[in-house]
């Protein structure tokens, strides 16, 4: 056993008990993780597997600006010469992010060329190159950024949220009722409340009469104690939004997401100024620069941060920090991703204290859940695993059924 001067002094001071400790340390130094830590500075990406990751939905998911028949995602697995692998998921949502599985696959092949042979821990540098190359495919960059953060956590031997300074392992999440007839939405809301969800998100944005009947039916079905939030997904013109929100005040709503067009900052600001219900920007806030613009314009009360809009976990953190500087609270939301990307996003919730609300329920729309480990989701509560990195993987048997690129 080689002994450093520090180990010698430690043993001399502490006696034979410390000798055992030093021996254990030396023995641990031969483990695969410690070897990888020692090699971190010269770590290299040796390969990237890209999969078309299709997840059927129980029924088409309907919001004001479009309907999604399935979740057609992209999965990436980044391999390193240390034998550690990182995983990440892209979940393109065409009506919102303007990308598709096909464009994400093309972008992923280009991103693979950027990371091959590079140090996967150089996330900041690599992310800048991703942005310069495929700025219109945020979900594809999100998949790679997630895989790199997964490797970072595994090399450090820590769950990502702990590496980022977080300490919340468990927090509440809402669950979403998508667009349907008022009676159907009310029944589904009542079922969610009975299953233990205290916060329910109701999709609206199709016209004042119908939307008011939806809220009337839902509030009557769940009673006064369930927290309701609504999401218009850009469906209202500003005057309609103001009038509708005034009429909805009596339903006791926590906040409204994106009442007007994403591009209409002035309209959003006008709604925020006149609405009795706080306004959260969603589609108007893709990345850090958008949060700064919204804060400067005082165009919203809150911001909804999503991995697939932000293009990565690092950008999600930056958005939360900018909002924090402007005294704005945030929610972390999702598209229709599996528990893999949802778990990745949940690490940012656990690590950033001004993220007060969580909307990470995308996987509940799927007919299958091929993710092993990862966050648990039950009775309105998300709990993160104490595993290094993201702490989630995709079942190897399921991977064998996917088309690989
Ligand atoms: Mg939304």
Distance between Cα 303 and ligand 1 center (Å)? 10
pLDDT for 5: 42
Identified catalytic residue from 154, 272, 306, 309: 306
Q: Which one is catalytic: 7, 145, 150, 282?
A: 282
Distance 333 CA to ligand 1 centre (A): 7
pTM: predicted TM-score of the whole model, two decimal places: 0.90
Task: Give the pLDDT score at 37.
Answer: 67
Cα–Cα distance measured from residue 328 to residue 357, given in angstroms and rounded to the nearest whole number: 12
> What's the confidence (pLDDT) of residue 33?
65
Q: Which helix (H) or strand (E) holds 279?
A: strand 279-281
β-sheet bridge partners, residue 329: 302
Looking at CATH, the fold of the domain delimited by 162-395 is given as: TIM Barrel (3.20.20)
Minimal CA–CA distance to 314: which of 106, 38, 370, 322? 322
Q: Is residue 191 among the annotated active site residues?
A: no
| Catalytic hit among 203, 272, 318, 387 | 203
Where in the sequence of the chain do the CATH 3.30.390.10 domains occur? 41-157
Question: Residue 263's pLDDT is what?
Answer: 95
**203 catalytic per annotation:** yes
Query: HEC states along 31-87?
Result: CHHHHHHHCHHHCCEEEEEEEEEEEEEEEEEEECCEEEEEEEEEEEEEEECCCCEEE
What is the per-residue pLDDT for 13?
40
- Residue 201 CB-density burial (10 A; 0-12 exposed, 13-18 middle, 19+ buried): buried
| pLDDT score, position 27 | 47
Which residue do the tokens 């926590």 mark? 254
CA gyration radius, the chain: 23
CA distance 312 to 306: 9
* pLDDT of 1: 37
Task: Please confirm, yes or no, whether 306 is among the known catalytic residues.
Answer: yes
To the question of domain 41-157 being in CATH 3.40.50.300, the answer is no
Residue of 89, 178, 211, 257 with catalytic role: 257
From residue 277, alpha-carbon distances to 239, 250, 253, 259, 266 in Å are: 15, 10, 7, 11, 18
Ligand 1 centre distance from Cα of residue 394 (Å)? 27
The residue ranges of the chain whose pLDDT is under 70 are 1-29, 32-33, 36-37
Write the CB contacts of 297 (distance below 8 Å, at least 6 apart in sequence): 265, 269
Q: In terms of Cα–Cα distance, which of 363, 372, 336 is closest to 90? A: 336
The secondary element (H helix, E strand) that includes residue 171 is strand 170-172
Residue 130: both structure tokens together: 């991703």
Residue 394 CB coordination number (10 Å): 21
pLDDT at 9: 38
Identify the pLDDT of residue 362: 93
DSSP tally for the chain: helices H, then strands E:
17, 17
Active site residue 282: yes
DSSP-based three-state secondary structure for 329: strand
């Amino acid at each position: 056993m080689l002994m450093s001067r520090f180990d010698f002094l430690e043993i001399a001071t502490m006696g034979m008990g410390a000798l055992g400790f030093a021996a254990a340390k030396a023995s641990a130094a031969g483990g695969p993780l410690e070897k990888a830590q020692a090699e971190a500075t010269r770590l290299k990406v040796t390969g990237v597997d890209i999969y078309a990751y299709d997840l059927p939905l129980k029924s088409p998911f309907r919001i004001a600006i479009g309907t999604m028949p399935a979740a057609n995602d992209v999965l990436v697995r980044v391999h390193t010469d240390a034998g550690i692998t990182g995983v990440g998921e892209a979940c393109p949502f065409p009506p919102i992010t303007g990308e598709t599985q096909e464009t994400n696959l093309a972008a992923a092949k280009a991103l693979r060329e950027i990371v091959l042979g590079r140090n996967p821990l150089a996330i900041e540098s690599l992310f800048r190159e991703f942005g310069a190359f495929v700025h219109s495919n945020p979900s594809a960059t999100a998949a790679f950024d997630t895989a790199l953060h997964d490797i970072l956590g595994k090399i450090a031997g820590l769950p990502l949220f702990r590496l980022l300074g977080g300490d919340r392992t468990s927090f509440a999440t809402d669950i979403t009722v998508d667009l349907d007839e008022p009676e159907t939405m009310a029944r589904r809301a009542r079922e969610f409340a009975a299953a233990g969800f205290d916060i329910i998100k109701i999709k609206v944005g199709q016209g004042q009469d119908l939307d008011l009947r939806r809220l009337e039916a839902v509030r009557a079905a769940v009673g006064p104690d369930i927290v309701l939030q609504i999401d218009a997904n850009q469906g209202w013109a500003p005057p309609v939004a103001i009038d509708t929100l005034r009429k909805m005040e009596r339903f006791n709503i926590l906040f409204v997401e994106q009442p007007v067009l994403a591009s209409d900052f002035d309209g959003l600001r006008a709604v925020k100024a006149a609405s009795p219900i706080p306004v959260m920007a969603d589609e108007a806030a893709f990345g850090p620069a958008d949060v700064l613009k919204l804060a400067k314009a005082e165009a919203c009360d809150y911001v909804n941060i999503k991995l697939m809009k932000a293009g990565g976990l690092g950008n999600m953190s930056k958005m939360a920090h900018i909002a924090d500087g402007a005294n704005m609270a945030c929610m972390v939301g999702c598209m229709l991703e599996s528990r893999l990307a949802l778990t990745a996003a949940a690490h940012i919730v656990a690590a950033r204290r001004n993220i007060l609300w969580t909307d990470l329920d995308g996987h509940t729309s799927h007919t299958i859940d091929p993710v092993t480990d990862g966050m648990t989701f039950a009775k309105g509560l998300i709990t993160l695993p104490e595993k290094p990195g993201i702490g989630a993987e995709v079942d190897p048997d399921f991977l064998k059924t996917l088309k690989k690129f």
